[in-house]
Amino acid sequence: MALIVQKYGGTSVGSPERIKNLARRVARFKALGHQIVVVVSAMSGETNRLIGLAREIMPEPDPRELDVMVSTGEQVTIGLTAMALMDLGIKAKSYTGSQVKIVTDNAHTKARILRIDDKSIQKDLKAGYVVVVAGFQGVDEKGNITTLGRGGSDTTGVALAAALKADECQIYTDVDGVYTTDPRVVPEARRLKSITFEEMLELASQGSKVLQIRSVEFAGKYKVKLRVLSSFEEDGEGTLITFEENEDMEQPIISGIAFNRDEAKITVLGVPDRPGIAYQILGPIADANVDVDMIIQNVSADGTTDFTFTVHKNEMGKALAILKDKVQAHIGAREISGDDKIAKVSVVGVGMRSHVGIASQMFRTLAEEGINIQMISTSEIKIAVVIDEKYMELAVRVLHKAFELEEA
Ligand code: ADP
Ligand code: ASP
Ligand code: MG
């Protein structure tokens, strides 16, 4: 007997028929004697619909109130899922995030899980219930409803698996595993049997939305056995996230390509080149809780330099306002500009550690297509470039081919 957490994404709960399907799968696992916790997302499209409604009322919705209404999507699916299980004669009970007590910080719309009270769930599991938990939502110390950021149900699933010391966390979605890149962009992409935790972390952080990054962080921290599977197949093996590099397998140099259209680039032009400038620019940005991703500062030719960084597109307006109001005059910058027509494309692979020339191969491939690189950042196992948004899909396709990632 094992304790298994199964997380089902939006498409997998997208209609009553699909929820019934999910219930039949859970019933099969239950019949084998396993204890099951089910985590569900909102029905596909529902979270977008709710955010759209909020924006019709208030173009920049109040974050606390947005969380109150956007979290209702998952409240609908837990009720429906518990009913579908009961209909099959299975004891089931649903919980919202605040009923479980998934306690988070108070960063509305992107809250972090601080702790999970697993007492009620454990009790119900012992009593033979399938426990159904709403993904994506939690509650702060003061009782306010919070949400965990888009795709946050993955994180609910893995965090619950960690708290319950589950034997496995299974992420059921609309693809049958983690691919070399998004199969919607490159149909020749190949499913990976396994991928190292480190690589998955990079891919998720660079924009592969198959797993939310925080779910991968949780899996790493608590050594959760994590598998991505299709909810439309009976018995695929999916992709296992492993903690060791597989020595026997012929390890490819590059494991995957990620891309991200969600960032915007902000440039501060004509900044005096002196100590403390980076702090004076980015300090107020961080104080406003805006995450910064890539940063570059040019060398100065005439005592002044340009400073460029990227933030989430949704936060470009906020970041620009802060710079114009609080920073520009103070540091004497000539101009501040924003560009949200950019995309980031990243190649990821642990094989990079032992191979040289990956960056030059990447840059040559892009140059051959006439794609200009605006920013570059690297880590031990990743090279990321910022390019014009309109070349993103082309860049992903040519890189996928250049690094021979297609189906063998
Ligand atoms: P869910 O609603 O089940 O959470 P998501 O839409 O969040 O599903 O994530 C699954 C989607 O992630 C896939 O349909 C696919 O288009 C996309 N995706 C992006 N990168 C990858 C990748 N490397 N491997 C598999 N899927 C990917
Ligand atoms: N429903 C939320 C979203 O669409 C959370 C999730 O699906 O994981 O982002
Ligand atoms: Mg998702």
Tell me the pLDDT tens digit for each residue of 247-257.
555 567 899 99
Q: Does the pLDDT at position 115 exceed 60?
A: yes
Query: How many angstroms separate the alpha carbon of residue 146 from the centre of ligand 2?
Result: 13
* Average pLDDT for the chain: 95
3-state helix, strand, coil in the chain (%, to 5): 40, 25, 35
pLDDT class for 408, splitting at 50, 70, 90?
A: low
Out of 150, 218, 314, mutate this one to test ligand 2's pocket (max ligand atoms within 8 Å of CB): namely 150
Ligand at minimal distance from the CA of 175 is 1
Q: What is the DSSP letter of 66?
A: H
Which residue's CA is the nearest one to ligand 2's atom 8? 151
Domain ranges of the chain: 3-174
Model confidence pLDDT, tens digit, residues 363-377:
999 999 999 999 999
Atom of ligand 2 nearest to the CA of 149: 9
Out of 182, 212, 393, 399, mutate this one to test ligand 1's pocket (max ligand atoms within 8 Å of CB): namely 182
**Residues contacting residue 373 through CB under 8 Å, at least 6 positions apart:** 363, 366, 385, 386, 387
In this structure, which amino acid lies at residue 298?
N
Model confidence pLDDT, tens digit, residues 199-245:
999 999 999 999 999 999 999 999 999 999 999 998 899 999 998 76
What proportion of the chain, given as a percentage, has pLDDT over 90?
Answer: 90
How confident is the model over 11-16, as a mean pLDDT? 98
**Residues contacting residue 361 through CB under 8 Å, at least 6 positions apart:** 402, 403
Residue closest to 101 by CA, chosen among 113, 112, 117: 117
Please state the pTM of the whole predicted model: 0.93
Model confidence pLDDT, tens digit, residues 285-298:
999 989 999 999 88
Q: DSSP for 269-335?
A: EEEE--TTHHHHHHHHHHHTT--EEEEEEPPPSSSEEEEEEEEEGGGHHHHHHHIIIIIHHHHT-SE
Model confidence pLDDT, tens digit, residues 77-104:
999 999 999 999 999 999 999 999 999 9
Atom of ligand 1 nearest to the CA of 228: 25
Query: How many angstroms separate the alpha carbon of residue 358 from the centre of ligand 2?
Result: 35
Out of 8, 77, 209, 254, mutate this one to test ligand 1's pocket (max ligand atoms within 8 Å of CB): namely 209
CATH classification (class only), 3-174: alpha beta
Model confidence pLDDT, tens digit, residues 29-71:
999 999 999 999 999 999 999 999 999 999 989 999 999 999 9
- Helices and strands (DSSP H and E) totals, the chain: 14, 20
pLDDT class for 303, splitting at 50, 70, 90?
A: confident
Query: How many angstroms separate the alpha carbon of residue 9 from the centre of ligand 1?
Result: 10
The Cα–Cα gap between 80 and 270 comes to 57
Ligand 2 proximal residues by C-beta, below 6 Å: 9-10, 41-42, 47, 73, 135-136, 150-154
User: Taking the CA atoms of the chain, what radius of gyration do you get in angstroms?
Assistant: 23
Whether ligand 1 lies within 6 angstroms of the CB of 14 is answered as: no
Query: How many angstroms separate the alpha carbon of residue 182 from the centre of ligand 1?
Result: 7
By the 8 A CB rule, do 202 and 381 touch?
Answer: yes
Query: How many angstroms separate the alpha carbon of residue 308 from the centre of ligand 1?
Result: 30
pLDDT given for residue 5 in this prediction: 98
**Residues contacting residue 357 through CB under 8 Å, at least 6 positions apart:** none
**Opening angle at CA 353, ends 351 and 355, nearest 5:** 70
pLDDT given for residue 247 in this prediction: 56
Residue closest to 6 by CA, chosen among 112, 85, 98, 123: 85
CA dihedral 46, 145, 136, 147 (to 10 degrees): 90
Query: Ligand 3 (ion): which residues have CB within 5 A?
Result: 9, 151
The Cα–Cα gap between 104 and 366 comes to 42
pLDDT given for residue 252 in this prediction: 79
Q: Does the pLDDT at position 395 exceed 90?
A: yes
pLDDT given for residue 250 in this prediction: 59
Ligand at minimal distance from the CA of 13 is 1
Residue closest to 164 by CA, chosen among 122, 221, 123: 122
Query: How many angstroms separate the alpha carbon of residue 194 from the centre of ligand 3?
Result: 19
Model confidence pLDDT, tens digit, residues 123-160:
999 999 999 999 999 999 999 999 999 999 999 999 99
Whether ligand 1 lies within 6 angstroms of the CB of 207 is answered as: no
Whether ligand 1 lies within 6 angstroms of the CB of 157 is answered as: no
pLDDT given for residue 300 in this prediction: 77
Q: What is the DSSP letter of 177?
A: S
The Cα–Cα gap between 39 and 195 comes to 23
